A and B are shown apart, each in its own frame.
Chain A
Amino acid sequence: AQKITQTQPGMFVQEKEAVTLDCTYDTSDPSYGLFWYKQPSSGEMIFLIYQGSYDQQNATEGRYSLNFQKARKSANLVISASQLGDSAMYFCAMRGTDSGGSNYKLTFGKGTLLTVNP
């Protein structure tokens, strides 16, 4: 079964510093996609970054980068130069083919609450 584990319920970072949010995943399928979403207190899930399992390079999108270590099954999100507006819940998610043959849905972790301090 597919599973996402986010072991940090909460993280604190000083404004302008970098922070790493951890994500490990479990799947037996060699082909899958990994996503990170941000959920502010307003509730909307905002897509941040995507990494495919066969991508050779780590994905980057502006201040976001994904530290993909396939052998360790980890897909950590790195946010550089944190801003006050980065304070939110962050969810790691995976899309792959599960034991039932389904490959459409996203499987989410429980999330990490990031607080950026001024």
Chain B
Amino acid sequence: DTGVSQDPRHKITKRGQNVTFRCDPISEHNRLYWYRQTLGQGPEFLTYFQNEAQLEKSRLLSDRFSAERPKGSFSTLEIQRTEQGDSAMYLCASSLEAGGFGDTQYFGPGTRLTVL
């Protein structure tokens, strides 16, 4: 069973540039999540997709951030006009819808972004 994959694993960019990250979830999973993790902190929720619909966006997600999940398969997260404060690990997770709160989110290896 292939796990969640993310590309690239590392990205170094200059302030003001745009970057795009890709996430491929576990194939049968219909739910997909993006989180951001800064040094010394736990992951913080950014956005959530059920199939192709983006159902929730965190207040952390400024208008410079946009996420898509065309056709309910892979997802992309784009950051426009990057700032040094965007430097973080960006984690993608997926899950298969289940009753209650028990559908486990499985995480990818993350994309580490460094903004110079």
Interface residues of A (CB under 8 A from B): 4, 31-33, 35, 37, 42-47, 50, 52-53, 91, 93, 95-96, 102-111
Q: Residue of A at shortest CB range from B110?
A: A43
Cross-chain contact B33 with A105 (CB below 8 angstroms): yes
| Contact residues on B (Cβ < 8 Å of other chain), bracket | 20 to 34
| Total A-B contacts with CB atoms under 8 angstroms apart | 66
Stretch with Cβ within 8 A of A (4 or more), from B37-45, B62-70, B79-87? B37-45
Q: Is B74 an interface residue (CB 8 A)?
A: no
List chain B residues, Cβ under 8 A from A108.
42-44
List chain B residues, Cβ under 8 A from A109.
42
Within 8 A of A (CB), among B68-110: 89, 91, 93, 100-102, 104-110
Closest 3 CB pairs of A and B: A108-B42, A33-B101, A105-B45
User: Among the listed B40, B45, B91, B107, which residue makes an inter-chain contact with A110, where contact means beta carbons less than 8 Å apart?
Assistant: B40
CA distance A19 to B57 in the complex (A): 37
Q: Least Cβ distance of A27 to chain B in Å?
A: 11
Q: Is B21 an interface residue (CB 8 A)?
A: no
List chain A residues, Cβ under 8 A from B44.
108
Q: List 23 A-B contacts (CB under 8 A).
A: A33-B100, A33-B101, A35-B104, A35-B105, A42-B109, A44-B108, A44-B109, A47-B104, A50-B102, A52-B100, A53-B101, A91-B42, A91-B43, A93-B42, A95-B101, A96-B101, A102-B56, A104-B55, A105-B45, A106-B33, A106-B43, A110-B42, A111-B41
Q: Least Cβ distance of B70 to chain A in Å?
A: 20
Q: Is B22 an interface residue (CB 8 A)?
A: no
